[in-house]
Amino acid sequence: MHCRRCGDALHAQRPVRTRIGRSVARGVACALLLGLAGAPAAQSLTFYRLQSVTVLPGAAPAWDYLTFDAARDRLFLDRRKDGVSVFDVATRRVVATIADSQGANATILVPADNLGYTVNGDGTTTRFRLSTLKTLRRIRFGRNADAGSYEPVTGQLVFTMGDSSAIAFMDARSGRVTATLPMPSRKLEASAPDGHGDLFMAEQDRNAVVRIDARRHAVTATWSTLPCHQPTGLAYDAVDRRIFVGCRSGHPMLAVLDADGGALVASVAIGRGNDGVAWDAARHAIVTSNGVDANLVIVRQLDADRYRLEQAVTTQPTARTLALDTVHDRIFLVTADGAVDPHKKILREVAPFYPNVYFDNTYRVLIYARR
Is residue 206 predicted with pLDDT exceeding 80?
A: yes
The stretch 4-24 carries a mean pLDDT of: 41
Share of the chain above pLDDT 70, in %: 88
- Residue 21's contacts (CB-CB under 8 Å, 6 or more residues apart) are none
Is residue 1 predicted with pLDDT exceeding 70?
A: no
Cα–Cα distance, 269 to 120 (Å, whole number)? 33
- The H or E element spanning position 297 is strand 295-303
- Residue 256's contacts (CB-CB under 8 Å, 6 or more residues apart) are 242, 243, 244, 245, 264, 265, 266, 267, 268, 305, 307
Is residue 358 predicted with pLDDT exceeding 60?
A: yes
Task: Say which residue, 225 or 347, is predicted with more confidence.
Answer: 225
Share of the chain above pLDDT 90, in %: 85
Of 6, 55, 46, 61, residue with least CA distance to 29: 6
Are 51 and 367 spatial neighbours (Cβ–Cβ below 8 Å)? yes
- Which pLDDT value is given to residue 249? 82
- The H or E element spanning position 244 is strand 242-247
Cα–Cα distance, 105 to 184 (Å, whole number)? 22
Ordered strands of the 242-247 beta sheet: 231-237, 242-247, 253-258, 264-269
Q: What is the pLDDT of residues 159-202, one digit of tens each?
A: 999 999 999 999 999 999 999 999 999 999 999 999 999 999 99
Cα–Cα distance, 286 to 254 (Å, whole number)? 9
Sign for the pseudo-dihedral over CA of 334, 336, 339, 341: negative
Looking at the DSSP bridge assignments, the partners of residue 52 are 367
- Which pLDDT value is given to residue 9? 40
Q: What is the pLDDT of residues 278-316, one digit of tens each?
A: 999 999 999 999 999 999 999 999 999 999 999 999 999
- Which pLDDT value is given to residue 349? 83
Is residue 22 predicted with pLDDT exceeding 70?
A: no
3-state secondary structure labels for all residues of 12-33? CCCCCCCHHHHHHHHHHHHHHH
Looking at the DSSP bridge assignments, the partners of residue 118 are 107
- Which pLDDT value is given to residue 126? 98
Cα–Cα distance, 140 to 161 (Å, whole number)? 12
Predicted TM-score of the model (pTM): 0.87
- Which pLDDT value is given to residue 40? 42
Rg (CA), the chain: 26
3-state secondary structure labels for all residues of 144-212? CCCEEEEECCCCEEEEEEHHHCEEEEEECCCCCEEEEEECCCCCEEEEEECCCCEEEEEEHHHCEEEEE
Q: What is the pLDDT of residues 316-344, one digit of tens each?
A: 999 999 999 999 999 999 999 999 999 99
350: confidence class by pLDDT, cuts 50, 70, 90: confident
Q: What is the pLDDT of residues 109-148, one digit of tens each?
A: 999 999 999 999 999 999 999 999 999 999 999 999 999 9
- Which pLDDT value is given to residue 6? 39
- Going from N- to C-terminal start, the domains of the chain cover 4-38, 48-370
DSSP tag of 9 = H
- Which pLDDT value is given to residue 38? 43
Q: Give the β-pairing of 93-97 and 198-203.
A: unpaired
Torsion angle of the four alpha carbons 78, 81, 82, 85, in this order, in degrees rounded to the nearest 10: 10
**CATH 2.60.120.10 for domain 48-370:** no
Region of residue 262 (left: phi > 0; alpha: psi -120 to 50; beta: else)? left
79: confidence class by pLDDT, cuts 50, 70, 90: very high
Sign for the pseudo-dihedral over CA of 81, 130, 291, 163: positive
- Which pLDDT value is given to residue 244? 98
DSSP tag of 80 = B
